[in-house]
Amino acid sequence: MVLPLEMGWRHLLFENWPVDASVIDAHLPDALDVDEHDGSGWLSVVPFTNVAVRPRGVPARAGIPLPELNLRTYVTCDGEPGVYFFSLDAQGLASVTGARLFHHLPYYYARISLDWHDGRVQFSSRRRHPGARPAHYDATYWPTGDPFSAPEDPLARYLVERYRFYTEASDGILRYSEVDHGPWTLYPAAADVETNTLLTANGFRQPDSEPVTYYSPGLDVVASRSQRWRERA
């Protein structure tokens, strides 16, 4: 049994596009349904850094940093809402291997840098995973406007107030983990994205519309061990 993990998520950009639900559904395991908002499914690219990743109960000073980039969508399983990750790129080779083995998540090794300079985040990711499709992402992003509580905004609540993620193991079995954290504080965000091949690397066309973007300084998280999904009787 893998122990629950504690970590901090910091300097996040949520870059979000409405996408026809049928397009997303074609990429999902059969047990999952697209969770729609305003008649659309949504795809989100999320660059950020993990800090102090460690087993639950271990002091934060013993944790490791782990910059990350993921592509995700929003789903339900037997009525239970959650997140489904199409890919997660991360800097740490050992962490990528562990996440694949024990949490059954589609992690890929990448070279990632994240710097905070003059109130802006500079983020760059290059996938280096053997045999995987190349994926590059370069962006500078920063908060604008006033902070707000995500639960008070319908779209923001839909996009970020998620407390479970689903994944399909290599044997085809659907699994899930619970994610415990406080409510998100978000800012409207501006983003200068120079390169983004993450969507096309996962078989999606780059949307024509401008994304809805949010920034968060972050919060602390506990993720449960991976569990097998059992359909309700």
Torsion, Cα of 48, 199, 193, 179 (10° steps) = -20
In this prediction, residue 232 carries a pLDDT of 60
Mean of all residue pLDDT scores within the chain: 92
**Bridge partners, 123 (sequence order):** 114, 139
Please report the pLDDT score of residue 104 as a whole number: 76
| pLDDT for res 97 | 65
Number of domains in the chain: 1
**Looking at the domain assignment, is residue 233 inside a domain?**
no
What is the structure's pLDDT at 40?
97
Task: Say what the pLDDT of residue 91 is.
Answer: 86
Question: Which domain covers residue 119, as residue numbers?
Answer: 5-228
Over the stretch 64-110, which tens digit does the pLDDT of each residue have?
788 999 999 999 999 999 999 999 999 876 666 666 666 678 899 99
Asked if pLDDT for residue 116 goes beyond 80, the answer is yes
207-230 residue pLDDT tens: 999 999 999 999 999 999 989 998
pLDDT-derived band at 44 (thresholds 50, 70, 90) equals very high
Residue 81 located in a structural domain: yes
Strand-pair partners of 37: 40
Q: Are 82 and 66 in contact (CB under 8 A)?
A: no
Q: What is the pTM of this model?
A: 0.94
**DSSP states of 108-167 as a string?**
EEEEEEEEEETTEEEEEEEE--TTSPP-EEEEEEEE-S--EEGGGSHHHHHHH---EEEE
Q: Which tokens go with 74?
A: 């929003």
**Mean pLDDT, residues 151-163:** 98
pLDDT over threshold 90, residue 34: yes
List the CATH number of the domain containing 46.
Answer: 2.40.400.10
Q: What pLDDT was estimated at residue 1? A: 46
Which residues, 6 or more positions from 23, have their beta carbon under 8 angstroms from its beta carbon? 41, 204
Whether 70 maps to a domain, the answer reads yes
Res 23 pLDDT > 50: yes
Instruction: Confirm whether 48 is domain-assigned.
Output: yes
